[in-house]
């Protein structure tokens, strides 16, 4: 805990140093890295020892004291913030190198503040400090998103994010008011029961769901993440949206045993969010936008797992509940690892070519071998393929669902979970086959892609380290579950965990061996192939074009053609727009096809709703005409009313 207070102080000092108009801004990334490393150490040791600590700082705040605490649930998120925060800072130093020094220094100021605010959110033990830290987190990330504000579209994306996150916070304010009815917002006293518990849960779903990206509250995600600098996208996608899930988990600990309806709600939200996320990810042509939608998908999987866990608790089934909660927490960790890796990879591509439009890229694996290989590991991991870590967490969700069906506790939700996950998994594999295949394989589709260069050593080092972590957490799923188990047990009834965990360990141990055997077998076969080809002729030639001898890079399958069949299958949801300039006449000169898949929830839910809101607001325009005496009249009238109310 002391370590974490030092971290916070270091981060604030770093932020202050960057905000000063001096050259001290250069220490920003170092302060962030150092503090984040310290934080991850603190988080990890608490996870191992399972200790619970709280401190009350001698600061007087309105409503409450400043109380911070560290338990396994907080520690898990502290660990994530630390690891990804440190790696993103190292990467970001390379990524921002060469940009305007003043602008960079300011960006590091916000970065330090963001990491500090996220730490404070997960450490907060009173509602007041939680909300303040939450707000600082939102504002700091807003300023980070609009780093390149002079580019078109960046500010607009920033505003969308700012409005969405504040709407979410409004729900959280009401939620804390409901929770803290006896006057204190101290977490130890927060509680609710019956109808008001369900109301609190619903408010938490909306408030925290906006940050986490539950459909249809996800609309800010695919706007804000692509325009942010890539290390910021990685931190936001990998960690910050998970803070929303942390909030949900923390609130669940106040509410007592959940009724089955909450589990059902989360399973439905998860299935819808996952499927919508992966389908829109498939339809995107910009790499970072695709990754942002894929974060929506993964948040859906986490919600699905959490829903299974709550159903298990409601039914008193120790296996389903333990598997579900562990799966949710494990997927939080795994997604943080591979999604930040993928955003780092996308950043390296943008750095090298100046674009993330997939149809301008191609063949980058040969020019950027380290970035490409790391990205491939991330792509396979997020597609839940063995032997990588994504498979472990999805395996646990499946296991929970299979158990729920065969034990008959909640068969329908189990069926929804299995069918949903199977479809999401298949489509995610398609999505990342496209993301990696179109960008890194084949022939370059533009001059920029031909002249790409490998990223700097620090950027590459970060990516390779994350790729190694993906493999190691895939092989060591057993230890991963051991580490998240104390955090999971905070959400489970006390008598539920031990036996269920043992079955879990047995399964994951076998999977670890199987994964190791798979890697060894593939390596052995590669060795065999090399040995067989050693003394034989190995030639290079053109790709076989079925007799056509002058193929060009433009004839390759493109990002949009690769997913066109799936797009047709789900046309009712995706509503892809086609702009076709067809060839005409006997001697056609040119033809063009452009496709674009805007978010259906923006188009047919939020845009019409906002238009209605604007029309309603216009009716009140007469009240405010900018005349000073009118304003004074309002003030006097208000004061008079208050006076009458007070006296009467």
**What gap in Å lies between CA 410 and CA 404, rounded to an integer?**
5
Q: Which one of the spans 126-134, 433-441, 462-470, 600-608 is the region binding another protein (CB under 8 A)?
A: 433-441
Q: List Cα–Cα distances, 373 to 436, 452, 553, in angstroms.
A: 10, 15, 22
Closer residue to another protein in complex, CB, 273/383: 383
**What gap in Å lies between CA 237 and CA 405, rounded to an integer?**
33
Helix (H) or strand (E) holding 310: helix 287-315
Task: Find the shortest distance in angstroms from Cβ 308 to another protein.
Answer: 14
Q: Does 526 bind another protein (CB under 8 A)?
A: yes
Q: Does 405 bind another protein (CB under 8 A)?
A: yes
Q: Does 621 bind another protein (CB under 8 A)?
A: no
Q: Which one of the spans 10-18, 42-50, 257-265, 397-405 is the region binding another protein (CB under 8 A)?
A: 397-405
452 sits in the region (left: phi over 0; alpha: psi -120 to 50; else beta) called beta
Q: Does 82 bind another protein (CB under 8 A)?
A: no
Task: Find the shortest distance in angstroms from Cβ 550 to another protein.
Answer: 13
Site for another protein in 536-575 (CB under 8 A): 536-546, 551, 553, 555-557, 561-566, 569
Q: Does 411 bind another protein (CB under 8 A)?
A: yes
User: Do residues 31 and 10 touch, judged by C-beta distance below 8 A?
Assistant: yes
Position among 167, 173, 202, 407 found at the interface with another protein (CB under 8 A): 407
Q: Does 447 bind another protein (CB under 8 A)?
A: no
Q: Which one of the spans 35-43, 172-180, 378-386, 623-631 is the region binding another protein (CB under 8 A)?
A: 378-386
Size of the site for another protein (CB under 8 A): 83
**What gap in Å lies between CA 635 and CA 633, rounded to an integer?**
5
User: Do residues 328 and 302 touch, judged by C-beta distance below 8 A?
Assistant: yes
Q: Does 216 bind another protein (CB under 8 A)?
A: no
288, β-bridge pairs: none
Q: How many CA atoms lie within 13 A of 314 on its CB side?
A: 19
CA 63 to chain centre: 33
213 sits in the region (left: phi over 0; alpha: psi -120 to 50; else beta) called left
68, β-bridge pairs: 55, 124
Closer residue to another protein in complex, CB, 65/561: 561
Position among 402, 479, 601, 606 found at the interface with another protein (CB under 8 A): 402
Q: Does 386 bind another protein (CB under 8 A)?
A: yes
Q: Does 378 bind another protein (CB under 8 A)?
A: no
Site for another protein in 92-131 (CB under 8 A): none
Position among 362, 378, 477, 486 found at the interface with another protein (CB under 8 A): 362
Site for another protein in 131-160 (CB under 8 A): none
Q: List Cα–Cα distances, 256 to 312, 350, 404, 441, 557, in angstroms.
A: 14, 47, 22, 51, 53
Task: Find the shortest distance in angstroms from Cβ 517 to another protein.
Answer: 7
Q: Which one of the spans 66-74, 80-88, 196-204, 380-388 is the region binding another protein (CB under 8 A)?
A: 380-388
Instruction: Of 51, 490, 494, give the one whose Cα is nearest residue 253.
Output: 490
Binding mask 588-617 for another protein (x = CB under 8 A): ------------------------------
Instruction: Of 116, 94, 117, give the one whose Cα is nearest residue 31.
Output: 116
Position among 256, 408, 493, 583 found at the interface with another protein (CB under 8 A): 408
**What gap in Å lies between CA 227 and CA 184, rounded to an integer?**
40
- Beta pairing class for 592-596 and 577-581: antiparallel
Q: Does 384 bind another protein (CB under 8 A)?
A: yes
Q: Does 442 bind another protein (CB under 8 A)?
A: yes
Residue 580 has phi, psi (to 5 degrees) of -110, 125
Q: Does 315 bind another protein (CB under 8 A)?
A: no
Q: Does 57 bind another protein (CB under 8 A)?
A: no
């Amino acid at each position: 805990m002391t370590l974490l207070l030092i971290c916070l102080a270091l981060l604030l000092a770093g932020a202050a140093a960057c905000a000063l108009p001096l050259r001290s801004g250069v220490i920003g990334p170092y302060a962030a890295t150092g503090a984040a490393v310290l934080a991850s150490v603190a988080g990890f040791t608490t996870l191992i020892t399972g200790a619970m600590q709280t401190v009350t700082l001698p600061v007087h705040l309105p409503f409450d004291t400043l109380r911070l605490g560290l338990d396994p649930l907080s520690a898990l998120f502290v660990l994530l913030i630390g690891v990804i925060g440190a790696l993103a800072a190292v990467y970001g130093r390379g990524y921002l190198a060469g940009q305007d020094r003043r602008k960079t220094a300011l960006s590091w100021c916000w970065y330090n503040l963001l990491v500090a605010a996220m730490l404070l959110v997960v450490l907060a033990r009173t509602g007041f400090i939680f909300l303040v830290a939450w707000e600082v987190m939102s504002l700091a990330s807003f300023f980070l998103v609009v780093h390149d504000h002079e580019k078109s579209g960046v500010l607009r994306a920033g505003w969308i994010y700012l409005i969405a996150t504040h709407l979410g916070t409004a729900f959280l304010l009401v939620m804390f008011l409901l929770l803290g009815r006896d006057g204190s917002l101290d977490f130890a006293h927060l509680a609710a029961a019956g109808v008001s518990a369900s109301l609190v849960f619903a408010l938490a779903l909306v408030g925290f769901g906006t940050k986490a990206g539950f459909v249809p509250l996800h609309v800010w995600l695919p706007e804000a993440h692509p325009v942010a600098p890539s290390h910021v996208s990685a931190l936001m996608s990998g960690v910050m949206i998970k803070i929303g899930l942390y909030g949900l988990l923390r609130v669940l600990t106040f509410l007592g045993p959940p009724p089955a309806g909450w589990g059902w709600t989360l399973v439905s939200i998860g299935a819808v969010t996952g499927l919508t996320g992966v389908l829109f990810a498939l339809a995107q042509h910009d790499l970072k936008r695709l990754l942002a939608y894929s974060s929506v998908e993964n948040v859906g999987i986490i919600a699905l797992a959490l829903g299974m866990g709550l159903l298990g608790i409601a039914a008193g089934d120790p296996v389903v509940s333990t598997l579900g909660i562990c799966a949710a927490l494990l997927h939080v960790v795994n997604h943080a690892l591979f999604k930040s890796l993928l955003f780092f990879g996308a950043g390296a591509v943008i750095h090298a070519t100046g674009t993330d439009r997939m149809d301008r890229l191609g063949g980058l694996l040969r020019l950027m071998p380290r970035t490409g290989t790391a990205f491939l590991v991330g792509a396979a991991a997020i597609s839940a393929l063995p032997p990588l870590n994504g498979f472990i967490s999805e395996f646990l969700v499946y296991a929970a669902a299979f158990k729920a069906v065969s034990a008959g506790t909640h068969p329908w939700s189990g069926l929804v979970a299995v069918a949903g996950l199977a479809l999401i998994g298949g489509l995610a594999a398609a999505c990342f086959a496209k993301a990696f295949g179109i960008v890194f394989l084949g022939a370059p589709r533009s001059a920029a892609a031909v002249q790409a260069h490998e990223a700097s050593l620090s950027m590459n080092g970060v990516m390779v380290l994350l790729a190694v972590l993906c493999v190691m957490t895939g092989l060591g799923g057993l230890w991963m579950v051991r580490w998240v188990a104390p955090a999971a047990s905070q959400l489970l009834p006390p008598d539920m965990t031990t036996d269920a965990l043992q079955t879990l360990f047995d399964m994951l141990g076998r999977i670890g061996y199987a994964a190791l055997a798979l890697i060894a077998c593939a390596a052995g076969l590669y060795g065999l192939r090399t040995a067989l080809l050693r003394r034989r002729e190995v030639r290079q030639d053109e790709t076989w074009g079925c007799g056509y001898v002058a193929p060009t890079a433009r004839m390759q399958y493109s990002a949009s053609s690769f997913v066109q069949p799936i797009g047709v299958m789900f046309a009712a949801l995706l509503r892809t727009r086609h702009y076709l300039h067809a060839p005409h006449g006997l001697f056609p000169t040119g033809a063009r096809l452009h496709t674009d898949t805007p978010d259906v929830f923006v188009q047919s839910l939020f845009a019409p709703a906002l238009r209605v809101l604007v029309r309603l607001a216009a009716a009140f325009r007469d009240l405010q005409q900018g005349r000073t005496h009118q304003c004074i009249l309002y003030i006097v009238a208000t004061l008079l009313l208050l006076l009458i109310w007070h006296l009467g």
